[in-house]
Every structure is written in C-alpha cells, then in structure tokens.
Amino acid sequence: MKTVAASEARQSFAELIDAAAREPVVIRRQQRDVAVVVSMQEYERLTQLNRAEFQRFCDAVGQRAMGAGMNARVLAKLLRDDRGDA
C-alpha cells in the first residue's frame, strides 16, 4: 500500500486519484496515518461486505431471540411496558 504525505497529496491530487485506482493510498500528516484514498470499486466492495456482515449479525440475533421465545406479540408487550403503558 502506497503512503504519501498530506502536503504531497494536496499538491498532486490528480496523481493521488490515479494511484488510488490501482491500490489504496494512505495519507500521512505529522507522522500519523490520517486517511486512506481508495477507488470507487474498492469502496463499493467494502461497503457491500459491511452490509452483508451486518445482515448476518441481525439474522443471528433474530434467531437467538426466536429461540428464546421472542415474537411480535412479546416484543410489542415489552415496548408497551418500557413506556409505562402496561
């Protein structure tokens, strides 16, 4: 992965974009990594992975809740009770 100083990235932004099309580019400022520039294709791949992982998490939580007896009626009652509407 390529690393460039923030000042260099600012001065040669077009080259930074071209480099990011090939591989992620880390931007460093004052000896710290502060950002990463990635291609749109890589960004979309990463966000799709994130959505898929979140969906797997939600599905697992739902399965555990159902296994513990949770259903729409129980959830509605819990929500009413939480508001003090019991």
Secondary structure (3-state) at 58: helix
Containing 17, the helix (H) or strand (E) segment is: helix 13-22
pLDDT of residue 75: 86
pLDDT of residue 21: 96
pLDDT of residue 44: 97
- Give the amino acid at 80: R
pTM: 0.66
Low-confidence ranges of the chain (pLDDT < 70): 82-86
Containing 27, the helix (H) or strand (E) segment is: strand 25-29
pLDDT of residue 82: 67
Percent of the chain predicted with pLDDT > 90 = 80
pLDDT of residue 86: 47
